[in-house]
Structure 1
Amino acid sequence: MNLNTLRTSVWLLTALLASPSLMANDMNPTIQPATDQAVTDEGLPSFYPQLKQQMTYSDSWLSGNFTDFSQWQAQSRETLRSLLLTPDSTKDFAPQAIEKQDRGSYTAEKVAFNLTDESRVDALLLTPKSAGPHPAVILLHDHGAKFDIGKEKMIKPWGNNEQLDSAQAWADKFFTGRFVGDELAKRGYVVLAVDALGWGSRGPIKYEQQQALASNFFNLGRSLAGLMAYEDMRATDFLASLEQVDKQRIGVVGFSMGAYRAWQLAALSDKVAATAAVSWIGTYDGLMTPGNNVLRGQSAFYMLHPGLPTRFDFPDVASVAAPKPMLLFNGGKDKLFPTQSVEDAYAKMHKVWQSQRADSKLQTKIWPELGHVFYQEQQEEVFSFLDQWLKP
């Protein structure tokens, strides 16, 4: 052995003796790899508890980081708008009437208009025959993994018996057999419903295609959830542009995914004067639980804005609409939204409205015997709420 080899051997031995942990690893083959390198059965990284702890919602009004509510609201709306990853449209709406049906005290129309620069869509529009301008409501349909109908879930369709049968069956299951839009039109409201991408005339997408659709939006530098949110804003702008509509009295009503869209729209748009959201609210912490749809991908991508959860909880987003009137209903037997998560979200929101001395404008209620539905009794309370805030 030459002198250089001897020196190297001595150096290696010294380093080994100075590293007991290394010696232990070499001598004890039973040591297991770290457990935080895997993925859970729910598709979460095994270290997700540490990531959840970093979701501090620093942009929440309740964070203590803000003192001026108007400034916070404007800043939050700007942040939310930027997270949509969707640029403003430049095209005029250029509406066109396709066909019309007389429904007694109101008319039903199929209309086409430019929803965005890329999409010209069909919509359903109901207009009272009485003299206007009228209060108006934009109706936002649910998900339900039922894609053959979208706007037709809210407004009764015509001219296609298969579509009508599908819509009526949906109304029977979730709405006590009624079409919410038609009930509102009977009460003197102009009503608009538009398909989200993937539903009705803009689909039908297959359930298992949602993941690829959302991924491809990211590939294109955009967001599926952001597109849906922005399209809801544009649909509201279109409704406000109609001469028969009182622009100061526009409300939004949504069920299930449509409820998420409703309070999100109220947060994003000044044109919304009152909001009713049925069967979609909770906290991230309370909804990120085993078996919940939030963790399953697919449908969740329609409500997933990259980067948002570290800055805002769901009720924080809804609270950007404060102190405007808002109603939220949930079912006590709704398996998708655990009661504790709903109550926690309600409590957060009441703190925000209370901070603006407007708690009377926030109405929240859990219907203990109901599940994921929007039944007639709930509808009647929603209609009374809208009448209170949108009718003179």
Structure 2
Amino acid sequence: MHIPEPLRHPLGRRTFVTGAATAMLLAGAGVGAGAGPARAEDLVGGNLPDFHPALKDELRFPLAWGTSPHRDFRAWRRAARAKVEEHLLVDRQDRTPYDPEFTDGPGGDGYRRQSVTVSLTRYERVRGSLLTPHGRGPFPAVLLLHDHGARFDIGKEKLVRPWDDDTRLASARAWADKYFSGRFVGDELARRGFVVLSLDALGWGDRGPVTYEQQQALASNFYNLGSSLAGLMAREDARAAGFLAGLDRVDARRVAAVGFSMGAYRAWQAAALSDDIAAAASVCWMTGLKEMMVPGNNTLRGQSSYYMLHPGLARHLDFPDVASIAAPRPMLFFHGAQDTLFPAEGVEAAYEKMRAVWRSRHAGERLHTKVWPELGHVFTAPMQDEVFTWLDAVL
């Protein structure tokens, strides 16, 4: 069989194949000359190296609870968190004063609106939306973490109704209609008695917008500068949790992280990295890494995955292992069975791994997992109502 020149390896071995070239190569592998085109199920596709099964087999996650040499849970948590911190590539010792500036907005329905600008790191100031219920505090609070969605003109506005920009309001309403049953989740939480803080991640809203095609270059340039885009987001989220917990209006013992999609990833990650988070609710982002790295998965496209990529961490811990650092604190994970981003087997494998950790702490009832059979990648009103009820119970 003729191999196109760009795909030839100096030693005659295939090293990287995609698309039509993949079909040509695999059509001749093990089926004989002249056997015709490869079947769809035979194709690698999606930018995977053709030896990717061997790479996956080498991932044993040796620092996971139960296989780690650490037998004391607290010692394991310290070691696992330190390993995650190491792979963030962002200075964990940054104690830059928050130095918040507050600007009042128009009154909400039972709550006060404010813009807040804070220093989460020494590099730049970050603007967010802060909602405070009417009445006497201190109140429980939610760090509300926005999704990715390849929509960058709005970030915090996806979850908190903007009050000072009609263009963003139109975008935000469309987003809420598409994913949140027309609701602004942050405003709903504030009406129900929670202080709500939502900030833009780098690239969104006031810190953007980047374009979809710029993400990979942005991430690679962080790496070239000895840092990490995903690590910065993780560090900022943990610092934001500390800022929220330290507000006089907030009961520091009752702070939760809540997010959808990439925001869900951020929520369980923040709970793993910050003791300021007492509970976390993650909607539509949990899976096993090996089950996610399959042909056709969105992660294989690169780009948006760089916001959730800590190079080398997979040699030590899987996604559910990182989330389990938060055990035995209350955690909620929802998944839509029709969600094509996360194969069902990966979701269930991750859930079972986490259940084993919480059960080992005699706290199985504190881990709430649920699959919604009829739903896809959404955070609908019924899902929200169940999260709100759960937050009331655990906080």
TM, length-normalised to structure 2: 0.89
**Superposed CA offset, 1:53-79 (max 9, x none):** 111000000325331111101111111
Specify which of 56, 71, 79 is matched with residue 75 of structure 2: 71
Q: Secondary structure at the residue paired with 1:62? A: coil
Q: What's the CA shift for 1:129?
A: 1.4
Q: Which residue of 1 aligns with 2:230?
A: 225
1:250 aligns with 2:255: yes
| Structure 1 contact 112–121 (Cα < 8 Å) conserved | yes
Specify which of 292, 296, 299 is matched with residue 291 of structure 1: 296
Q: Within 1, Cα distance between the matches of 2:114 and 2:280?
A: 24
1:84 aligns with 2:84: no
Q: Which residue of 2 aligns with 1:125?
A: 130
| Structure 2 contact 105–163 (Cα < 8 Å) conserved | no
Structure 1 regions of 5+ residues with no counterpart?
Answer: 1-31
Q: Within 1, Cα distance between the matches of 2:349 and 2:307?
A: 23
Query: 79-88 vs 252-261, which deviates more?
Result: 79-88
Query: 221-230 vs 65-74, which deviates more?
Result: 65-74
Q: Within 2, Cα distance between the matches of 1:111 and 1:284?
A: 36
Q: Which residue of 1 aligns with 2:286?
A: 281
CA RMSD between the two structures: 1.3
Q: Which residue of 1 aligns with 2:191?
A: 186
**Superposed CA offset, 1:8-63 (max 9, x none):** xxxxxxxxxxxxxxxxxxxxxxxx96544334442222222211111100000032
Q: Which residue of 1 aligns with 2:58?
A: 54
Q: Within 1, Cα distance between the matches of 2:280 and 2:97?
A: 26
Q: Within 2, Cα distance between the matches of 1:62 and 1:363?
A: 21
For 2:177, the aligned partner's letter is D
Q: What's the CA shift for 1:115?
A: 1.7
Q: Within 2, Cα distance between the matches of 1:247 and 1:104?
A: 24
Q: Within 2, Cα distance between the matches of 1:148 and 1:279?
A: 22
Q: Secondary structure at the residue paired with 2:223? A: helix
1:105 aligns with 2:110: yes
Q: What's the CA shift for 1:348?
A: 0.6
**Superposed CA offset, 1:315-364 (max 9, x none):** 11111111000000000000111111111110111011011110000000
Q: Secondary structure at the residue paired with 1:63? A: coil
For 2:66, the aligned partner's letter is L
Q: Within 1, Cα distance between the matches of 2:104 and 2:134?
A: 16
Q: What's the CA shift for 1:91?
A: 2.0
For 2:279, the aligned partner's letter is A
For 1:98, the aligned partner's letter is T
Q: Which residue of 1 aligns with 2:150?
A: 145
Q: Within 2, Cα distance between the matches of 1:54 and 1:146?
A: 35
| Structure 1 contact 36–47 (Cα < 8 Å) conserved | no
Q: Evaluate the alpha carbon distance shift between residue 64 and residue 228 of structure 1 in structure 2; reply closer, same or farther with a 3 A threshold.
A: closer
Q: What's the CA shift for 1:314?
A: 0.7
Q: Which residue of 2 aligns with 1:37?
A: 15
Identity of matched residues, %: 55
Structure 2 regions of 5+ residues with no counterpart?
Answer: 1-9, 19-44
Q: Within 2, Cα distance between the matches of 1:49 and 1:35?
A: 16
For 2:116, the aligned partner's letter is V
Q: Within 2, Cα distance between the matches of 1:251 and 1:59?
A: 26
> Which runs of structure 2 are paired with 1:1-392 in the superposition (5 Å)?
34-40=12-18, 41-63=45-67, 65-87=69-91, 88-390=93-395
| Structure 2 contact 48–295 (Cα < 8 Å) conserved | no
- Higher CA-based Rg: 1
